[in-house]
Chain A
């Protein structure tokens, strides 16, 4: 999968910008989105050239500043305790308690499920064991990563055909989300029709 090269532009991007806004003062994050990238592109060529050599003009594109602003706004939003009323964050953390070995084994199971013998989820005092300790346990990390990887690879494919624009990335994301929701609803409807009661909590 293309997770490593897709992760590199997202990783190399925030570091110069975070250093720049902390040096520029507290108002750096609230200024317009066009302000940080021109100041950061000069510092990025010096500071990040040792880590990853970014392509020329990468940080001056509006999509990167948009992505960083979105990411920082998400980080600020998720730290608020008011979120706990809508999304049970504690229960969500169970689905993200994964490690590399588990992800590798789970992906292998997804591609080739024929040699696996024991499909039972192991329990520990009435609750399923965290995915770190059991390959059969469900998780949310792989679906979220698959979604993000799909959007990035779709952007890459559009780019090689010279059809890329920043709006098309958002369009791909919402379209993929709509298909995902439709697929989940179809699975739920089918499970209801054949009276299979599942209990994954």
Chain B
């Protein structure tokens, strides 16, 4: 049960990396989660699939540049301190 704050940070970094790696064209379109695949009209309430699709797209857009920095720092730290 030694689930520390550090392991939470590691898990969060890995999950955000995983979301950022999902390619729009090669993968999400085939599953049906592409960002241009009919997310619903303007007035109706978006369903869960539309929310997830929006979340994936926004995470990829927002976190691309900070992820480069955080990943580089993590690589350097892991190389130095193991």
Contacts and interface: CB of A to CB of B under 8 A. Distances in A.
B72 interface: no
Interface in A157-201: 171, 174-175, 177-179, 181-182, 192-195
Interface string B36-71: 000000000110100110010000000000000000
B1 interface: yes
Interface residues of A, number: 12
A183 to B, nearest CB: 11
A177 B46 CA distance: 33
Specify the main secondary structure of chain A where it touches its partner. Answer: helix
B51 A195 contact: yes
Contact of A182 (B8, B52, B55): B8
Given A182-B8, A192-B55, A175 B1 contact: yes
Contact of B48 (A174, A181, A194): A194
A193 B48 contact: yes
A171 B48 contact: no
A174 B7 CA distance: 11
4 residue pairs, one from A and one from B, having the closest CB atoms: A178-B8, A175-B3, A178-B5, A193-B51
Interface string B6-36: 0110000000000000000000000000000
Given A171-B2, A175-B2, A178-B3, A195 B46 contact: yes
B51 A192 contact: yes
Contacts of B45: 195
B8 A181 contact: yes
A178 B52 contact: no
Contacts of A177: 5
A185 to B, nearest CB: 9
26 contacts: A171-B2, A171-B4, A174-B4, A174-B5, A175-B1, A175-B2, A175-B3, A177-B5, A178-B3, A178-B4, A178-B5, A178-B8, A179-B3, A181-B5, A181-B8, A182-B8, A192-B51, A192-B55, A193-B48, A193-B51, A193-B55, A194-B48, A194-B51, A195-B45, A195-B46, A195-B51
A31 to B, nearest CB: 31
Contacts of B4: 171, 174-175, 178
A192 B59 CA distance: 14
Contacts of B52: 193
A177 B5 CA distance: 7
Contacts of B55: 192-193
A195 B54 CA distance: 12
Contacts of B7: 178
Contacts of B8: 178, 181-182
Given A175-B2, A182-B8, A192-B51, 8 more contacts: A177-B5, A178-B4, A178-B5, A181-B5, A193-B48, A193-B52, A193-B55, A195-B51
